[in-house]
Structure 1
Amino acid sequence: MLTKREFLKLFTAAGLAIGLPSIVRAQTAATLSLGNAKLHVINDGFMQLPMGFVYGSAPQAERDALLIQNGLALDAVSPPCNVTVLETDEGLIVFDVGGGTNFLSSLGGFFDAFIEAGFDPERVTDVVFTHAHPDHLWGIIDDFDEVIFPEAKMHIARSEFDFWMDKNTISKMNPERQSFAVGAKNRLGELADRFSFFEFGDEILGGIEAVDTSGHTIGHTSFVVHGGDQPTMILGDALTHPIISFEKPNWPTGSDHDMDQGIATRLKLLDRLSHDQMRVIGYHLTNNGVGRVEQSGTAFRFVGS
């Protein structure tokens, strides 16, 4: 029986061979040079979150004025989901895997686009997770209950893994988010023997540094990928809104597990990124997530590049 991976590879190849006009070969959303390596950004889809949930604690008049000034909706946030793939001579390293098809109907495009762009799942040596929220983790297992990257080792912060696997975590979460805990525990548990665990500050793979950006989750990690003269930080959800996260980093967000820690992390991270002028890839940022952080008076701004 064909696996989904094998089916997609055969289907794409056959479509290209006979020139079917209905088949469009997907491309990566962005490709960046990193010394002798490349970083590819592939979109998994987008989310639709109520503004009241994400920034319900922010001063409404000020929040609405900021959103209107930037031509953004007042009632909802619709962030993209940007998966990063590091391509080296040794293989492919994937950072997060999207939400798959069992979380939101607007997600789940990453793996098909990965195949259609010409990447081979069996060349993926490692999958690195920033954290275990559904839009980052659930895509690791497909509709056929198969792991999408059969040869890959998995990497996640020890504190993140332990939090989601703790039997008491589900009961401590708000009812509307308990499915996050159930889904995380099921997937992490099924893949437990594939995981390698790291601590903040570790070099988890050659040239990949784990940076403590906890707050969004207990063990949320960003990663600096070193190479050439252009290191890049893969932010995960440390900075999630292209305007508010930068201009108002001290506003709490309902998507953070620990709102106070989330604020402290944003302030520290923005100061570092603006000072170092390090390139970033944000999972939920615009411009395919790619840009830099600049200081703007007493605040900051995200500048796409």
Structure 2
Amino acid sequence: MDINRRLLIAGLGGVVACGLPRTSLASTSARIGDMEILSVSDGNLVLPGAMYFDGLPKEEVDSIITPLNISKNQVEPPCNVTLLRYDDRVVLFDAGSGDGFMPSAGALIDSLDAIGVTPDDITNLVFTHGHPDHLWGVLDDFDDPVFTEAEHMMGQTEWDYWTDPETVNTIGEARASFAVGAARRLEAIEDRMTFFGDGEEVLPGIMAHASFGHTPGHMSFEVRSGSEALLIGGDAIGNHHIAFARPDWPSGSDQDPDLGAVTRARLLDKLSHDKITLLGFHLPNGGIGQVERQDTGYRFITEDM
């Protein structure tokens, strides 16, 4: 599979709160048959390292992250939004953060513009899950829908979870704002939404795979043409360090850490065994690469690694 990268330096997403220009990987592309798949940047998150590393064996964590120059104090995962073009369809997987989540994120519209795509060009908007960096970009600053020509699509289980009034009371204090924000945005786009379940072909050549754990209804998507395949993994495999080296360890980024670990191990085994390319939302270098089994775990391989 040919993978091409286009890097746009400073200024693509405007100026963030600290006054520094946002750098952005505008696009990383691959092809599956007649389908063009592009990873476009929504910027990056800035998160405490404790979300990934607290409660894990310190020495083993150090042995995994030190060679990768990853800080234990703060991590800055990229946000790679998938764009797929084929036939007369322009399909976007997730909507990015918009301007309401983190100042380091929210570059999606500028990144799309850099490759000649406008929000009105999107024919289908397919969600992996309802966390802010995947959903909040559906509305603009005036709370109007951004992707006005698109059919919006979400797994039924995920929709039911975020639209349940009890979710804000059960999700935990740290994520309560996620529930409030998701419910408000989903209500605004309800009349645009269609639903699907595990194993369904959501669009020709694109099959939904339940990958629950990160959220209760998280979905991944297998894009296939003949023997070629790519998995749009969302956050089911949420980083390129601990998640690969020790997929069995629970992750604080998952709402159900135990189920998330089971899902992660299953997906990594399938990806490595079947030689399926992975596009991960928070993986480096545009997020497109191969999964290779290594020692007791796996490693993520891109052309730049």
* Aligned counterpart for 1:72 among listed residues 50, 66, 70: 70
Instruction: Tell me if the contact between 1:132 and 1:160 (Cα under 8 Å) persists in the aligned partners.
Output: yes
Structure 1 residues 27-84: Cα deviation after superposition (integer angstroms, max 9, x where no partner):
8321211211201111001111111122212112221232113221121221000001
Give the aligned residue type for 1:120: T
Q: 1:286 matched to which residue of 2? A: 284
Q: Does the Cα contact within 8 Å between 1:27 and 1:116 map onto a contact in 2? A: no
Residue 299 (structure 1) aligns with: 297
Q: Does 1:116 align with 2:114?
A: yes
Assess if the C-alpha contact under 8 Å between 2:145 and 2:188 holds in 1: no
Q: What amino acid does structure 1 have at the position aligned with 2:242?
A: I
**Map of 2:207 onto structure 1:** 209
Percent identity between the aligned chains? Answer: 41
What residue number does 2:272 align with? 274
Equivalent position amino acid for 1:233 in 2: L
Name the residue aligned to 1:107: 105
Partner-residue secondary structure (3-state), 2:55: coil
CA deviation map 1:107-159 (0-9, x unaligned): 11001221232113222110000000000000111123221211111111101
Partner-residue secondary structure (3-state), 2:63? helix
| Matched length | 281
Work out whether residues 94 and 125 of structure 2, in 8 Å CA contact, stay in contact via their aligned partners in 1.
yes
The letter of the residue matching 1:189 is E
Distance (Å, rounded) in 1 between the aligned partners of 2:137 and 2:73? 28
Q: Is the 8 A contact 2:26 2:114 kept in 1?
A: no
Partner AA of 1:178 in structure 2: A
Question: Whole-Å Cα distance in 2 between the matches of residues 33 and 278 of structure 1?
Answer: 13
Does the aligned pair in 1 maintain the 2:41–2:81 contact within 8 Å? yes
Aligned AA (2:273)? H
8 Å CA contact retained: 1:55, 1:252: no
Q: Distance in 1 between matches of 2:263 and 2:32?
A: 26
1:87-166 matches, cutoff 5 A:
87-166=85-164
Matches within 5 A, 1:161-240: 161-240=159-238
Secondary structure of the structure 1 residue equivalent to 2:42: strand
CA distance in 2, matches of 1:71, 1:111: 30
Partners in 2 of 1:112 and 1:71 — Cα distance? 29
Consecutive unaligned residues of structure 2, counting only runs of 5 or more, are 1-23
Whole-angstrom CA distance in 1 between matches of 2:164 and 2:273:
38
Preserved contact between residue 46 and residue 81 of structure 1 (Cα < 8 Å)? yes
Which amino acid is 2:197 matched to? E
C-alpha distance in 1 between matches for 2:194 and 2:83: 19
- Of 250-259 and 112-121, more deviation after overlay is shown by 112-121
Structure 1 CA distance for aligned equivalents of residues 79 and 245 of structure 2: 21
Give the C-alpha shift of residue 228 in structure 1: 5.0
AA partner of residue 97 (structure 1): A
Contact 2:49 2:74 in 1 (8 A): yes
Deviation at 1:239, TM superposition (A): 0.7
| Matches of 1:120 and 1:242, distance apart in 2 | 31
* Structure 2: distance between partners of 1:120 and 1:101: 17
SS in 2 for 1:86: strand
How does 1:242-281 map onto structure 2 within 5 Å?
242-281=240-279
Any conservation in 2 of the 1:93–1:125 contact (CA below 8 Å)? yes
1:245-285, Cα deviation, whole Å (9 max, x unpaired): 11111111111111110010011111100000101100000
CA RMSD of aligned residues (A): 1.5
Instruction: Say which one has the larger Rg.
Output: 1
TM-score, L = length of structure 1: 0.89
Structure 1 stretch 212-221 or stretch 72-81: which is displaced more? 72-81
